[in-house]
Every structure is written in structure tokens, then in C-alpha cells.
Amino acid sequence: MTVILYDHDEKSADLFAEAKEVLQKTLPETEIHHVGSTAIGLGGKGMIDILIAIPDWTKKDLAVEKLAKLGFTHVHKEINNRIFMSRVGDTVKNDVHIHLTYIGSSEYISFLAFRDYLRIHKDEANEYLKQKHQWLKSASGNRQFYTASKNTYIQSVLSKASPDTMI
């Protein structure tokens, strides 16, 4: 699969709000957060990343089943207490990607810390966007290489994202 980076789309917040409304009706006991580049106001692969945190991880299969009824049938295997779901196997601009985890998991904490740190530290957000373009060029559009390239940078940001730096 080839990665394409798009400029930030002002409609992202509205698309998230629409998706959240449907998701909240389907999974009313959950926390639903806009994460990823579109939540920060940056360009990216053009999809809306949504973190859904359920209160009880033993009920993850029920949550997956309910999300599948909404069309999220492309389900990756669980990694680090997170299940990735989408409607299609390939990225489609303005589509929704679900990251299902439980409230308080390390994935939950990391997603929100990364998003919040970059929202507050605009210089870091701009550096992240600059790096994304460099990673894409190095990856020649290869999704696996591009994603792997991002991981080290994301970890470096998370190491800075302590409560003291969130002011």
C-alpha cells in the first residue's frame, strides 16, 4: 500500500463529530477521542483516527462486534491491548480508523499524551509534519517503512510529554 500525505482539511473536526455521534450511540459507555494528525491540525494520510476506550477490556469482543455492524470489518489482530479497525484495507481520504483499547491502558495514555503535547507545542507539531514528509520520501510511499520511521519520533515526543510539559 502506498502512503499519500494530504494537507490539513478543515472538515476533519466536523467529520470526527459526526462519527463520534454514531459511535457513542453504539458504544455509550466508552470514551471517544479524536487522535492522530487531523486532531492536531496537521496534514497526514487524510483519515480520521479515533481512539475508543472501553471501561472493561474483557468486553472487547462485544465492542468489535458492534463496530463491525457499523462497517468496521477490517480488523487487525490485537497488539499491546489495542485493536485497529477500519472499513477498508487501504487508506481512503476522510475515512475513519478506529483504535480500540481500554481506559487507562498504555495505548490510551500514549495516544492522548502525544496528541495533547503536539497541540500545545506548535513547534514540535511543525517538526513532526516536516519529518512526516521526509519519512514519506525515504519510504518511497511504502506504508510499513513510513510507519516504522514514525515510531522512534513518536517515542521521543512521548518522553517529553510529562504533566510538567503540558502547561
Grid cell listed for 152: 522512534
For residue 116, being part of any structural domain is answered with yes
Q: Which residues of 84-122 are buried (b: 16+ CB within 10 A; e: fewer)?
A: bbbeeeebeeebbbbbbbbeebebbebbbbbbbbbeebe
Number of folded domains that form the chain: 1
User: pTM, whole model, 2 decimals?
Assistant: 0.90
pLDDT for residue 3: 72
Q: Which residue positions in the chain have pLDDT lower than 50?
A: 167
Is the CB of residue 31 less than 8 Å from the CB of residue 52? yes
pLDDT per position as a tens digit, 88-128? 766 666 689 999 999 999 999 999 999 999 999 999 999 99
**Assigned domain for 6 exists:** no
What pLDDT score does 94 carry?
65
The CATH number that applies at residue 115 is: 3.30.460.10
In a domain, 2, yes or no: no
The boundaries of the domain holding residue 37 are 12-166
Q: Kindly state whether residue 4 falls inside one of the protein's structural domains.
A: no
